[in-house]
Amino acid sequence: MLQETIEIRRAAAEDFDKLAMLNRELIEGEKHRNPMTVPELKERFIQLVNREIWMVDLFSQNGEIVGLATHRLEPDNAEPSGQRVFLRQFYVSRQHRRSEIGRRTLELLIRSRFHNKSRIFLEVLETNPGGKTFWSRTGFVAYSTLMERLVEKADTK
């Protein structure tokens, strides 16, 4: 069976509405506590691209956007190159899952955007077991555990 071609391209200003909707799906799917609305997420994408120097890529199949990736190079003195890739977001829309598109888009991203021997870091929320499974199946291994605690002090008067 012939697989349909997936294409990758940099996001442009006209994509920000769709990106914001996909980002909201991602937040809901991984059970993130981010309360941002779609309009707020659109504004955040504008900031990410224009001021924070993130690369935002879109994946499409038959002209339909099926996913996104947000990434950038960060300093890392443990790496021979002095940099690592931080993959902030990687998302394939719900209706395109379970069809190898996730794996194929990830491989396309790696081939198209990252140098040989680049080390890719990402975070997976504990509330997203499907994400953990996906990343493990695509060759990622646990490196560290990020922990948090909310400080709640007794009412001081």
Place of tokens 């504990």: 126
Alpha-carbon separation of residue 117 from 43, 82, 83, 120, 121 (angstroms): 34, 12, 11, 9, 13
Q: Calculate mean pLDDT across residues 97-120.
A: 92
Burial letters for 46-73: b for 16+ Cβ neighbours within 10 Å, e otherwise? eebbeeeebbbbbbebeeebbbbbbbbb
- Count of beta carbons in the 10 Å neighbourhood of residue 15: 19
Q: Which two tokens stand for residue 83?
A: 């940099």
The pLDDT score that the predictor gives to residue 46 is 77
**Per-residue pLDDT at 19 exceeds 70:** yes
What digits encode the pLDDT tens for the residues 46-98? 777 777 688 989 999 988 889 999 999 999 999 999 999 999 989 888 787 77
What token pair was written down for 139? 């060759």
Average pLDDT taken over every residue of the chain: 86
Residue 135 scores a pLDDT above 70 = yes
**132 within 8 A of 145, measured Cβ to Cβ:** no
Q: Take residue 3 and report the two structure tokens written for it.
A: 């697989």
Nearest CA to 108 out of 132, 124, 92, 130 is that of: 92
Provide mean pLDDT across the span 117-135.
91
Q: Which domains does the chain have, with CATH numbers?
A: 6-137 (3.40.630.30)
